[in-house]
Amino acid sequence: MVIAVDNEKTASMSDVDPRLSAFEARINRGEKIEPADWMPDDYRQQLIRLIHVHANSEICGALPEGKWIPHAPTFKRKLALVAKVQDEVGHGQLLYRAAETLGPSREQMIEDLISGKSKFSNVFHYPAESWADVAIIAWLIDAAAIINQTMMAEGSYGPYARALKRICYEEAFHMKHGYEMCVVLAGGTRVQRDMLQDALNRWWTPIMMFHGPSDKESKHTTQLVKWKVKLKTNDEQRQQFLRQFVPKMLDLRLKIPDKSLRYDSATETWRYDDPDWNEFKKVVNNGGPVSHERVEARRLAHVDGLWVREALTAHANRQPIPMPERN
């Protein structure tokens, strides 16, 4: 999943390359841009940033759910959760590969995540406190991610679009399973229903922030839409999410914790309390409740796995295999 971050530069039009108009004509014809093709540097940088953040988010998104694997209530749920977590990590790898076709190495991107130089989605800076959080994440966050990813899968950059086609196929299972979990909890005991409502109360605001700052605040969207890096603005994606999922939440007798939420039939849009975008900025800059725990988990995995990577390299080079240090 992708967050919109507010700090990118806008294209400078002073040094227009003659190849630019041919490039834009290709995008307008619906052609995909491939790694070896000429592309404006701004296009490259924006894509690297987006795909990198997306890859980081898949990896960090596996952490809150992974923690719940040992506590899954049934064997069937455990199997599904293991499969989902494995898929998310796989998504991260597919996306790092797509980003690599634009320049940066996977190693560098992982280092940047660990050092806090690169960001990940706002929603993964919060803890999953109960089993119902796992259900809400799988249903609504994966749903929000699908809206973003099916859009990006139609984007102009070939390797990213192809990776997203594979990813969306798997996300469909995540969301369906998440919905099933929510339906079971919503139709369960009082304790289960309260658990689900509490989870929604906790996650509502982060979910409303998921598609990024409102269009009023993000200046660069026009350029990204023109180059088909993005096909819809943040607010359009948020509206699509509300259109599809508010009725389903209400069906489950959930109360949505936003007093101003209502459908405006004149404009055919949902009205809602605009989230606090300063809070969003703070969170995505690793100022969220568990930002440091997430980055630390990633760092430990990288450090603890180093001996495995070294051993595999040694084996490939037919060298003696180094053993892990005992302590």
- In the complex, which residues of this chain contact other proteins (CB under 8 A)? 34, 36-37, 83, 86-87, 90, 93-94, 97, 105-107, 111, 162-163, 166, 170, 302-303, 306, 309-310, 312-313, 315-317
Distance of closest approach, residue 61 Cβ to Fe ion, in angstroms: 7
Residue 236 in the binding site for Fe ion (CB under 5 A): no
Distance of closest approach, residue 259 Cβ to other proteins, in angstroms: 43
Binding mask 33-72 for Fe ion (x = CB under 5 A): -------------------------x--------------
303 binds, among Fe ion, other proteins, none (CB under 5 to 8 A by kind): other proteins
d(CA 275, CA 284): 14
Encoded tokens for 188: 């369960």
The phi and psi torsions of 232 (rounded to 5 degrees) equal -140, 150
138 HSE (CA, 13 A, CB side): 30
Binding mask 112-151 for Fe ion (x = CB under 5 A): ------------------------------x---------
Distance of closest approach, residue 94 Cβ to Fe ion, in angstroms: 9
Q: Which is nearer to other proteins, 17 or 251 (CB)?
A: 17
171 binds, among Fe ion, other proteins, none (CB under 5 to 8 A by kind): Fe ion
Q: Which is nearer to Fe ion, 61 or 275 (CB)?
A: 61
269-271/262-264 β-pairing: antiparallel
Q: Which is nearer to Fe ion, 100 or 142 (CB)?
A: 142
d(CA 112, CA 293): 16
Dihedral, CA atoms, 220, 217, 231, 14, nearest 10 degrees?
Answer: -10
Handedness of CA 206, 69, 286, 51 (dihedral sign): negative
Q: Which is nearer to Fe ion, 52 or 91 (CB)?
A: 91
Q: Which is nearer to other proteins, 255 or 315 (CB)?
A: 315
Which residue among 49, 125, 174, 220 contacts Fe ion (CB under 5 A)? 174
Distance of closest approach, residue 297 Cβ to other proteins, in angstroms: 16
**Axis crossing angle, helix 234-251 with helix 190-209, rounded to the nearest 10:** 170
Q: Which is nearer to other proteins, 87 or 142 (CB)?
A: 87
Q: Which is nearer to other proteins, 21 or 86 (CB)?
A: 86
d(CA 183, CA 253): 10
Segment 68 to 107, residues that bind Fe ion, using CB under 5 A: 88, 91
Distance of closest approach, residue 314 Cβ to other proteins, in angstroms: 9
Site residues for Fe ion per CB under 5 A: 58, 88, 91, 142, 171, 174
